[in-house]
Amino acid sequence: MLKGTGVSAGIGIGKALLIEEHSLEYTPVTITEPQAEKERFNDAVKTFCENTKKQADALRISAGDKEAEIMLGHISLIEDPFLTGEVEKLIEGGQCAEAALEQMCDMFISIFSAAEDDLTRQRAADVRDVKAGMLGVLLGIEDVKIGDAPKGSVIVVRELTPSMIAEIKKENIAGIIAETGSTTSHSAILARVLEIPAVMSVDDAMLSIRGGDTVICDGSAGVVIVSPVEEELKEYEAKRERFVREKAELDKFRGKPTVSADGIRYELVCNIGKPDDAAKAVDNDGEGVGLFRTEFLFMDKTSVPTEDEQFDAYKKAALILKEKPLIIRTLDIGGDKEIPYLGLEKEDNPFMGFRAIRYCLKYRSLFKTQLRAILRASAFGNISIMFPLITCVEEVRAGKLLVDEIMEELRAEGIAFDEGIKVGIMVETAAAAVIADILAKESDFFSIGTNDLTGYTMACDRGNGNVAYLYSVMQPSVLRMIKRTIECAAREGIPVGMCGEAAADPLMTPLLISFGLTEFSVSAPSVLRLRKNIASWTKERADEVAAEAMRLETQAEIKEYLSSVIG
């Protein structure tokens, strides 16, 4: 048995097809006619873009318009004036096109790979895909033809790229296994859209699996079984049938309200990182967006996005949602989110340092630009503003004063905006939870970020293996922080949501129902499963479970108890 990361749920059983990548090695040469070499480079760019456009068209048919945008993003990357300009400068300095391209791509790969958050790191894979495609064109090497895979194939590859996925004939592929990759990579996203079971980060898969081997690919559990015995085949064939039945059962909840067994209505919304993700929320039957992580708009640029650029992004998301709620979190940088051009100084402990609302309140011009863009976009939908990493009431008041100041400016300029726009906060620090009664008087709503709340409350970094055992939302201290926050919000009559990973955890559902959570904000693929889960609980039964859980003294006891109750 091989283990990896399940990135696309389901069970795939078939014959292994190893995809060997062509060598892209070359011998760098010194250029004496830079103009001719620049023309060769630009011709290669044109050919690459034509090939990628065809891949995008194929992906549009097999997966949809939004997924095709991933491939079109590769075109935008190679046509970026900064990248092409720097490549041409290197060519003028005597480098061949291959070497110049590789140097610039490797620079971006290094920057993205060094980031601590997975979403930024996955962009390195996109750059590697573009680099490989461009080198293939320059060297006259044909792409790997994954589209020729026979029916019942389980693809095994070192790194699955979006350009490979674009060639896939969905009906022929039983599963995908890759040595690299993560749940947030574009390839993983595409595998989920195509509903192909996939396991990534499988060490030495290309060495451990031979072409033609029978392989079981469990994309739900992140497990790969090579040459299974008859009993294993029967077991996983039964699992595959069960998965198909459960998926059909979930589809029954599409288009239905999110209601508990005793009729209590909840809001079930999605977390997004860019405007196009709002369409994924709608497609997955989300009731709106509970968290728009705006930092990704800044990460996708080489300079601060202008007010109009931000306005267009927020407006686009609002129009896609068609009056469904859209909560936009203001810029949350620092910690594990670095944006080089903003010039954040290196800190010994960045999670405790100059980040999020603290940065924005100091750099008021940048903050004001973002708030103006959000307010302008509010004329086109149901938008709310949310401040991250609040630790004291002064931060909330300072942010609200700036919002009021901008409103006055917009009125004077005759620019429309929502006069009744709601302003809320993220409760993701122990400090905010402790003074939730005070903060509730200053806020229109709360959203609990359990990822940071757990880390800050337990004083542990989940990325540090020595203390990761402490990182659990089911720690009694963290559960008490959540319960108190919700109770304080209820006393002031404001809604409270949760946008951390715990919102989608079925073990947490009865506790959150009992505590009085009003909104669950989760990843788009989690919507229907959570709606089904909520529908199975009554408030009375949830209260019984929560009462027992809160009497327990350790996170292990709480988790064991909840697991036994939910089965």
**CA gap 334, 359 in Å, rounded:** 8
Please, is 539 exposed, middle or buried when counting C-beta atoms within 10 Å of its C-beta (0-12, 13-18, 19+)?
middle
CA distance to 180, 188, 329, 424, 567, per residue, from 269 (Å): 31, 22, 14, 16, 26
Tell me the three state secondary structure of residue 307. Answer: helix
Q: Please write down the HEC assignment for all residues of 198-264.
A: EEECCCCHHHHCCCCCEEEEECCCCEEEECCCHHHHHHHHHHHHHHHHHHHHHHCCCCCCEECCCCC
22 among known catalytic residues: no
Q: What is the DSSP letter of 145?
A: -
Buried b (16+ CB within 10 A) or exposed e, 394-423: ebbebbbebbeebbeebeeeeeebbeebbb
CA distance to 335, 357, 410, 550, per residue, from 455 (Å): 12, 18, 39, 20
**CA gap 432, 395 in Å, rounded:** 11
Q: Where are the beta strands (DSSP E) in 363-430?
A: 382-387, 422-427
Compute the half-sphere exposure of residue 430: CA atoms within 13 Å on the CB side of its CA: 12
Find all residues with CB under 8 Å of 484, minimum gap 6, and list them.
433, 434, 436
* Annotated catalytic residue, options 96, 217, 360, 499: 499
CA distance to 156, 242, 253, 525, per residue, from 359 (Å): 45, 49, 42, 33
CB contact at 8 A, 179 and 158? yes
- Length of the chain counted residue by residue: 567
Backbone angles phi and psi of 496, in degrees to 5: -135, 130
Taking alpha carbons only, the member of 482, 385, 498, 481 closest to residue 447 is 498
| Cβ neighbours around 254 below 10 Å, total | 11
Radius of gyration for the chain, computed over Cα atoms and rounded to the nearest angstrom: 25
User: CA triplet 117, 123, 127: central angle to 5 degrees?
Assistant: 150
CB contact at 8 A, 462 and 471? yes
Largest CA distance in the chain: 80
* Annotated catalytic residue, options 49, 74, 105, 186: 186
**CA gap 388, 462 in Å, rounded:** 20
**CA gap 219, 4 in Å, rounded:** 9
| Cβ neighbours around 307 below 10 Å, total | 16
Q: What is the DSSP letter of 535?
A: T
Written as one string, the DSSP assignment of 337-348 is B--GGG-PPP-S
User: Two tokens at 56?
Assistant: 């995008």
74 among known catalytic residues: no
Written as one string, the DSSP assignment of 75-110 is HHHHT-HHHHHHHHHHHHTTB-HHHHHHHHHHHHHH
Active site residues: 186, 499
